[in-house]
C-alpha cells in the first residue's frame, strides 16, 4: 500500500515526541542517545505505515502552562477525595460508566482527552467510539443522573482546555462561543435572582 509522503516539517512534532520518549525510556538524554533516537524516529516514521497525525498548526504555550497547574491541582484534589471516600464510605461507594460525546472528532484530540481524564484518580476511560467521538468513562462516586452530568461537564471542560491549547481554529471558536453563552446565561440567572 502506498501513501503520499508527509514532509519532515509537518512530522517535526511527532519526531520530537518520539525522540523525547526514546530518551525517557532509556533515561539518557546524552547527545549520542538523542542522535540515535532521531535515527530511530526517522526509521519508524519513514518505513512503517502510520496513520497521519492531523495537527491543527497552533499551540498555545500560555494555555498549556496554565492547564498544567490546573491538572496537577485536579490530581491532588481527586486523590484527597478518593482517600476520603475510602475511609468514610468504603465499599458503599457507587460508580458509573458515563458516555460523553466530545466536540472534536480528531483522533489526536479524542486520545489526548482520554489520557488526561484517565490520569485523574477516580476516573478511567473504558471504551472509545471513534466514529462518534464518544468516550465511555468510569467514574467513582456517581450516585445519580446529576452525578453523571457532573462527569460529562468535567470531561468536556478537559477537552475544552486541550482545544484551547492545540485545537483547530474552528474548535476554538466553538469553545469560545459556548463559554460566551454560558457567561450570558449565568448573568441572566444572576439578574433574575436579584429581582
What pLDDT score does 11 carry? 74
Which residue ranges in the chain fall short of pLDDT 70? 1-6, 10, 49-55, 191-195
Long-range contacts of 131-135 (CB under 8 A, 24+ apart): 132/101, 133/101, 133/102, 133/103, 133/104, 133/105, 134/99, 134/100, 134/101, 134/102, 135/99, 135/100, 135/102, 135/110
| Dist. CA 150–CA 141, nearest whole Å | 11
3-state secondary structure of 14: helix
What pLDDT score does 16 carry? 86
What pLDDT score does 57 carry? 74
3-state secondary structure of 134: strand
**How does DSSP classify residue 131?**
T
What pLDDT score does 14 carry? 77
Q: Please calculate the CA angle 72-76-78 and round it to the nearest 5 degrees.
A: 115
What pLDDT score does 53 carry? 65
- Tell me which residue of 56, 28, 53, 15 sits closest to 174, measured CA to CA: 56
- Tell me which residue of 90, 106, 148 sits closest to 123, measured CA to CA: 148
Q: pTM to 2 decimals?
A: 0.73
pLDDT tens-place string over residues 2-55: 456 667 776 777 788 889 989 989 989 999 999 999 999 888 888 876 666 666
Pull the grid cell for residue 78.
Answer: 481527586
| Dist. CA 140–CA 151, nearest whole Å | 10
Question: Phi and psi at residue 22, in whole multiples of 5°?
Answer: -60, -50
Amino acid at each position: 500500500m502506498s501513501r503520499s509522503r508527509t514532509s519532515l516539517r509537518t512530522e517535526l512534532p511527532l519526531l520530537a515526541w518520539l525522540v523525547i520518549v526514546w530518551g525517557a525510556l532509556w533515561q539518557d538524554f546524552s547527545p549520542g542517545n538523542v542522535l540515535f533516537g532521531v535515527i530511530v524516529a526517522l526509521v519508524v516514521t519513514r518505513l512503517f505505515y502510520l496513520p497521519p497525525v492531523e495537527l491543527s498548526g497552533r499551540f498555545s504555550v500560555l494555555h498549556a502552562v496554565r492547564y498544567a497547574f490546573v491538572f496537577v491541582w485536579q490530581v491532588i484534589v481527586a486523590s484527597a477525595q478518593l482517600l476520603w471516600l475510602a475511609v468514610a464510605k468504603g465499599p458503599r461507594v457507587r460508580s458509573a460508566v458515563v458516555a460523553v460525546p466530545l466536540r472534536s472528532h480528531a483522533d489526536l484530540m479524542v486520545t489526548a482527552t482520554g489520557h488526561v481524564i484517565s490520569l485523574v484518580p477516580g476516573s478511567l476511560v473504558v471504551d472509545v467510539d471513534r466514529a462518534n467521538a464518544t468516550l465511555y468513562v468510569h467514574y467513582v462516586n456517581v450516585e445519580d443522573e446529576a452525578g453523571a452530568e457532573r462527569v460529562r461537564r468535567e470531561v468536556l471542560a478537559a477537552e475544552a482546555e486541550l482545544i484551547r491549547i492545540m485545537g483547530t481554529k474552528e474548535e476554538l471558536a466553538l469553545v469560545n462561543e459556548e463559554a460566551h453563552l454560558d457567561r450570558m446565561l449565568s448573568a441572566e440567572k444572576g439578574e433574575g435572582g436579584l429581582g
